Amino acid sequence: MKKKTTIVGKDFPRVESRAKVTGAAQYVDDIQFGPNLLHARLLRSPIPHGLIKRLDTSKAAALPGVRVVVTGKDYPGLTGLYLSDRPIFAVDRVRFVGEPVVGVAAETEEIAEQALDLIEVEYEPLPGVFDPEYGAGPDAPLIHPDLANYAVAPFVFPQAGSNVSNHFKVRKGNMDEGWAQADLIYEHTYRVPHVQHVPLETHVDVAQMDGNGKITLWASSQSPFAQRNLIAKALGISHGMLRVITPYVGGGFGAKAGVSVEGACVALAMKAKGRPVKLCMSRKEEFYTTFVRQGLIAKIKMGMTNEGRITAMQNTYYWDGGAYTEYGVNITRAAGYSSTGPYNVPNVHADSLCVYTNHPIGGAMRGFGMPEIHWAIEQHIDRMAQQLQLDPVQVRLTNCLRGGDVTVTGMVMHPTGLAECIQKAADAIGWGKPSRPSAPHKRRGKGIAAMWKAPAMPPNPGSSATIRMNEDGTCSVGIGGVDMGQGTLTIAAQLAAEGLGVPIEWVRVNTVDTDYSPYEWQTVASRLTWSMGNAILNAAREAKQQILEAVADAWNEKPDDMDIIEGKVVSYATEREMSLKNIAVYGIQKPDGTWVGGPVVGKGKFMPTYVTPLDKETGQGPRAVVHFTTGAQAVEVEVDTETGEVQVLRIVAAFDVGHAINPDMVRTQMEGGAVQGMSTAMLEQIILKEGKPLNPTFTDYRIATAVDAPPDIETIIVEVPQDDGPFGARGIGEHAMVPTAPAIANAVRAAVGVEIDSMPITSEKVWLAMQSSDRASGSKAVVSPL
């Protein structure tokens, strides 16, 4: 007999009171909307997998002060960026602990909480899937029986009748020949746990429908235009009837890309009769009910010659995509076309599988799958180098991609400074030079790891920009990119000023309002400096051309003989000059008394047109991505042999950014990424037991702070220009986080001879490994997950 469980609201796990947060939450505080503001709360599933057999909200709806109650039956549409598999509220089945089942909006937070206690839900528990390798097999219970019916992007390949929502394959070269050429073949399995983005500001939204049915959503979001698109489709409304406003965002790291809780807020507002509805996630909810970074099981098999040349690589990646993989399927794809790491490998067999589990929803996080696969690849290379008694730096220099090499997908690699990054990082850390430990019971070691990452996106993500001149010669720049602390507005102002020829103080960049801002796909993939930057430069060129043509007409000169420098139109032919003040809007008077010119508005857009499809069975194609940013990190650690404690003493980060538009901001991205990478490497893990998170607070989930940061971080900027980048620039926002974890693991191994297969590298794991290691014989212990 099937088991049924009846749960009333008071039996659900409660969340703590909402703390005051900054950023968008402050912007959309109650003061903006006055006493008319309704407060929303979500009733969430307490079980990881089950059918909803009965749902009774009548008592909650009758509670005085409750104004709106919404369930999945009200809005059953699905949403998803690459795979439409996710309902706004569970309809007939729940798939993870914390899934929204009912939304309530009331006059106060307290009343909304009381209403949740009055809701009754009867579940029929179903078997869960908590391991992606098992979940990919034929015996695992199906989490999405309707997978075959979901709308999906053409480059995502779900496997109907299974839990595999995307299977990306790479087949390159001849594997038999590759193995035959190898003097050493080594295979091993590595694991990466789920982690949280933990932005300073949690998810927070306010939505309101006006008397004409127009809905405005104020959202702490990386994706205002994508949210408008996805929510409108899921709720069956016109895009023109949904407006998304994004003020300054208090951190994102990928957590606020796509749609998570925003759809629920809009759905509540649609039934609130014109009243605004505010939905703010508590820190506990943020930990496991929004996006998390996907877990990974990586199986690596590699062949190498005695000289250190990689002859073959066979990788299988099982991604723990969670209950809904609408975003995770593209992480799987990115891991597939990057599956070898930044190396020239002639023979490759790779399978990257996104697997449904009954865990929290996996989504974008800084690095987008690259920190996870490099954790495995970069440790594997070091282990093979040691077995062959080779220098890990030289092995990387022997195999690293250079301009003109063929990548894993058959794309010809553009010019890259990867080899220079590896060498400079090694030189700066003092590779090969021993360091004296601070105490007799401590050991020091140095490690290195290389990386590559492309902007992971569809082939046609567009950017647009506008530049509108003001009467005094200043200008307003419209963009759709979001500033969440990474410096989008600063870069936009720099590029507009440089492209137009005015002082940067004359430039004002607007935040995002989808009704008035030009379109931007999303603020993800470290793509804004490159993609949005190109759109801004195109807008600047158009505005500049309008001004020069008007002045040239008035002066009877040629526009090609003129330029704008520091806010003045100058003529190289006659040496005349004129300030933009009073002419950029009103125009300029000709000698005959007539006027030319008028209000100047420049428009620009950019969309890559050269990315090609990849073959479904082989993953081969002329151009898989727009470009790769490459780099390397070297670290020095000190390990306490009595406790297993690991202290990171130094990090050297060297990255090829094409051209550093703002070197100070590039360096801070490299520093911040290294510290965040160190945090995930040594501290962070969402502990899950049968789908239930056990540490969803900062009490039990540690992140690195200034106290933990290494005292010495050196940044090295390498510049090999990108042919289609603004002034040759490429992105750097995510990349500095990618190689940190394996570099630390390799340094720990060099220090005390232990191998750590799973993040995080805790003192307990290191100590246990040392205890089981026979130091006298030089054998090493391998520690698997605890």
Catalytic site positions: 734
The single-letter DSSP state of residue 289 is T
Distance from C-alpha of 170 to C-alpha of 282, rounded to nearest angstrom: 42
Residue 420 and residue 404: Cα distance in Å, rounded?
Answer: 16
Classify the phi-psi angles of 331: left when phi > 0, otherwise alpha if psi is within -120 to 50, otherwise beta: alpha
Task: Indicate if the alpha-carbon torsion angle 721, 727, 730, 731 is positive or negative.
Answer: positive
Nearest to 168 by CA among 605, 624, 668: 624
Distances, alpha carbon 417 to alpha carbons 52, 342, 414, 630, 653, in Å: 55, 11, 10, 7, 13
Provide the CB-side half-sphere exposure for 297 (13 A, CA).
Answer: 14
Structure-token match 């009200």, residue found: 74
Judge whether 710 and 671 are in contact, CB under 8 Å: no
Question: What is the C-alpha to C-alpha distance for residues 65 and 118, in angstroms, rounded to an integer?
Answer: 14
What is the H or E stretch that residue 122 is in? strand 120-125
Q: Which residues pair with 277 in a beta bridge?
A: 38, 207
3-class secondary structure, 446: strand
**Cis preceding-peptide flag for 696 (omega within 30 of 0):** no
Residues in the chain: 786
Q: What is the rounded CA–CA span in Å between residue 240 and residue 690?
A: 43
DSSP element (H, E) containing 265 = helix 262-270
What crossing angle do the helices spanning 740-752 and 763-771 adopt, rounded to 10°? 30
CA–CA dist 335, 333 (Å, integer): 5
DSSP letter string, 144-190:
-TTGGGS-B-TT----TTSSEEEEEEEEES-HHHHHHH-SEEEEEEE
How far apart are the C-alpha atoms of 629 and 733, rounded to whole Å? 10
121 with 51: CB under 8 angstroms? no
Backbone φ and ψ of 368, nearest 5°: 50, 55
Other residues' Cβ atoms within 10 Å of the Cβ of residue 66: 21
Q: Which residue has the tokens 């935040």?
A: 511
CB-based burial of residue 705 (10 Å sphere; 0-12 exposed, 13-18 middle, 19+ buried)?
exposed
Report the 10 Å Cβ neighbour count for 460. Answer: 10
**Angle at 323 (CA atoms; ends 328, 14), nearest 5 degrees:** 120
Segments in 556-656 forming alpha helices (H): none
> How far apart are the C-alpha atoms of 270 and 250, rounded to whole Å?
27
As a whole number of angstroms, the distance between CA 738 and CA 724 comes to 24
Angle at 422 between CA 457 and CA 294, to 5 degrees: 35
Residue-by-residue DSSP string for 234-252 = HHT--GGGEEEEE---S--
* Cα gap 658→463, rounded to integer Å: 20
Dihedral, CA atoms, 699, 643, 744, 706, nearest 10 degrees? 40
